[in-house]
Structure 1
Amino acid sequence: MSMIRHNGNIKDIEKRRKKNMFYFSLFLFATLFGVITLAVLLVDVFIKGIPWLDWQFLNSFPSRFPERAGIKSAFYGTLWMLGLTAPIAFILGVGTALYLNEYAGDTKLKQILQININNLAGVPSIVYGLLGLGVFVRGFALGRSLIAGSLTMVLLILPIIVVASQEALKSVPSSQRNASYALGATKWQTIRRVVIPAALPNILTGTILALSRAIGETAPLIMIGALTFVAFVPGSPMDSFTVLPIQIFNWTSRPQEDFQYIAAAGIIVLLVVLLSMNGLAIYLRNKYQNKY
Structure 2
Amino acid sequence: MRFRAERITTIVEWGTLLLSTGLVCFFLVIILWEIVSKGAAVISAEFVLQVPKEGMTAGGILTPIIGTVLLTLLTALFAIPFGVCCAVYLQEYASNNWFTRTIRASIRNLSGVPSIIYGLFGLALFVQGLQFGTSLLAAGLTLGLLSLPYIITTAEEALMRIPNSMREAALAVGATKFETIRDVVLPSSMSGILTGVVLTLSRAAGETAPILFTGAAFYINQTRASVNQEFMALPYHLYMLSTQHQSIDAVRPIAYGTALVLVFVVFVLNLAAFYIRYTYRKNEN
TM-score where L is the length of structure 2: 0.92
Give per-residue Cα distances to partners, 1:41-85, cap 9 Å, x unaligned: 111111111111111211222234666231111000001011111
The residue that corresponds to 2:147 in the other structure is 157
**Which letter does structure 2 place at the counterpart of 1:276?**
V
Is 1:240 matched up with 2:230?
yes
Cα distance in 1 between the residues matched to 2:9 and 2:179: 55
The residue that corresponds to 1:111 in the other structure is 101
The residue that corresponds to 2:180 in the other structure is 190
After TM superposition, the structure 1 = structure 2 runs for residues 38-53 of structure 1, keeping only pairs within 5 Å, are: 38-53=28-43
Percent of aligned positions with the same letter in both sequences?
Answer: 35
Task: Give the C-alpha shift of residue 17 in structure 1.
Answer: 4.9
After TM superposition, the structure 1 = structure 2 runs for residues 37-76 of structure 1, keeping only pairs within 5 Å, are: 37-64=27-54, 68-76=58-66
After TM superposition, the structure 1 = structure 2 runs for residues 206-285 of structure 1, keeping only pairs within 5 Å, are: 206-253=196-243, 254=245, 255-285=247-277
The residue that corresponds to 1:168 in the other structure is 158
Which piece of structure 1 moves more, 275-284 or 133-142? 275-284
**Which letter does structure 2 place at the counterpart of 1:257?**
D
Does the CA-based 8 Å contact 2:136-2:215 persist in structure 1? no
The residue that corresponds to 2:78 in the other structure is 88
Task: Give the C-alpha shift of residue 286 in structure 1.
Answer: 2.4
C-alpha change, 1:22 and 1:173, in structure 2 (3 Å) is closer
Q: Which runs of 5+ in 1 are unaligned?
A: 1-8
Does the CA-based 8 Å contact 1:60-1:68 persist in structure 2? no
Q: Which runs of 5+ in 2 are unaligned?
A: none
Give per-residue Cα distances to partners, 1:149-182, cap 9 Å, x unaligned: 0000001010000000000001011110010011
The residue that corresponds to 2:123 in the other structure is 133
**Which letter does structure 1 place at the counterpart of 2:141?**
L
Give per-residue Cα distances to partners, 1:165-207, cap 9 Å, x unaligned: 0000010111100100110000000000000000111000001
Does the CA-based 8 Å contact 1:234-1:241 persist in structure 2? no
Task: Give the C-alpha shift of residue 37 in structure 1.
Answer: 1.1
User: Who wins on radius of gyration, i.e. which is larger?
Assistant: 1
The number of aligned residues is 282
Cα distance in 2 between the residues matched to 1:210 and 1:59: 27
* Structure 2 residue corresponding to 1:28, chosen from 18, 22, 25: 18
Cα distance in 1 between the residues matched to 2:18 and 2:177: 49
CA-based RMSD:
1.9
Task: Give the C-alpha shift of residue 264 in structure 1.
Answer: 1.1
Does the CA-based 8 Å contact 2:225-2:231 persist in structure 1? no
Cα distance in 2 between the residues matched to 1:134 and 1:55: 40
**Which letter does structure 2 place at the counterpart of 1:271?**
V
